[in-house]
Structure 1
Amino acid sequence: MKNVNKTKKLIFDAAIKSFSQKGFHKTTVDEIAESAGVAKGTLYYHFKSKEEIFKFIIDEGTRIIEEEILDRTEHLEDPVEKLRTICYVHIELVTKHVEFFKTILSQMWGNEERQNQLRDVLAGYFKLIEKYLTEAADEKYIKDKNMEIIAFNFFGVMISTIIYSLMHREKNVKDLADTFVDFIMGGIGK
């Protein structure tokens, strides 16, 4: 986590762990502070509420994913290879940070403010996926249909693949990503 001080990093890790294990509503600020090894006052110095902590972990976690994707795709020319790389990054990050993704998935539904904020952050991330899909369509690798819907579908199928990878940890990340991209390209490819 670049540009995040040590205390915020401790709170970030503790909050993700608590949210993924107990859920948002059952997690308390006291538990997050204790797990992070910081005083409650220190936690409140950095964050006004549990909701603000949640927003921070979603913003920061998504930023990390986007940066990793951009770093790993910037040198690639082939749009299909870029899509494949997105899959590699996701599968690698999910298996490494399963609690973060568990927290995201558990909070995607509902109409509370944090859930709306989460969907807004994810919408920005889906725009990044849509950009890569549009590049592939421009190069005639995939059908030029509604890229916004395809980006959501791409993410949904990728999440299913990630769940599979978590259940079958012995599977190779590259093999899973290759299978996923081949499957997706068969559906949206030309």
Structure 2
Amino acid sequence: MEPILIILSLLTISIITLVFVVVWRDRRDLKLRQITGEIEKVEELLKEMDQYKKEIKEMLATAKKQTDQAVSRVDNQVKQVRDSVVKLEQHVHSGSKDSRDSGRDKARQQKYSGRGKPRNPNKKGQTTPPPPSKGGEQDQRINDGEKFAKMVKMADEGLNTQEIAKRLNIGRKEVELVLQLKRKQIS
């Protein structure tokens, strides 16, 4: 009976070992299937990321192209504004030269018209002091670009050309010319 017992014990141990091996194998297969599923998900995510990467590159290329076009347009507009400013300055300078020449002509006409010399209210040797500036402020010379920008801003605020000319201490014709040029650039 003893040999039967030993055989039965060995048989029981083998069955237990076999069950353990089967369970272990099933668990291992289950884990392998889970890992395989997760690897497939990761591969899908990588494919999606590649697709997004391509789309982003295309969007960036399009944005760069549009930005380059916009910069080119702005450069062209800046060139046009500079050309207009140069033309305007030439026009203003030629207009001021004409007004100076007409003032000289009037003085010559008075001098040689037989009426005698023009009267000078100051005594000989005295000079006329410069007019005092408003509010004690020193007159500051602003560049033409700032002056033109102020003219356009004041016009946008609803001021007429006379008021703008008075505030900036410039001629009304100059203000009208600048505003006409601005309108031509807008349209």
Regarding TM over 0.5, the answer is no
Quickly name the TM-score band, shorter chain normalised: under 0.3
Q: Highest relative contact order (Cα 8 Å, sep 6+), 1 or 2?
A: 1
Give TM-score, length-normalised by structure 1: 0.26
Give TM-score, length-normalised by structure 2: 0.26
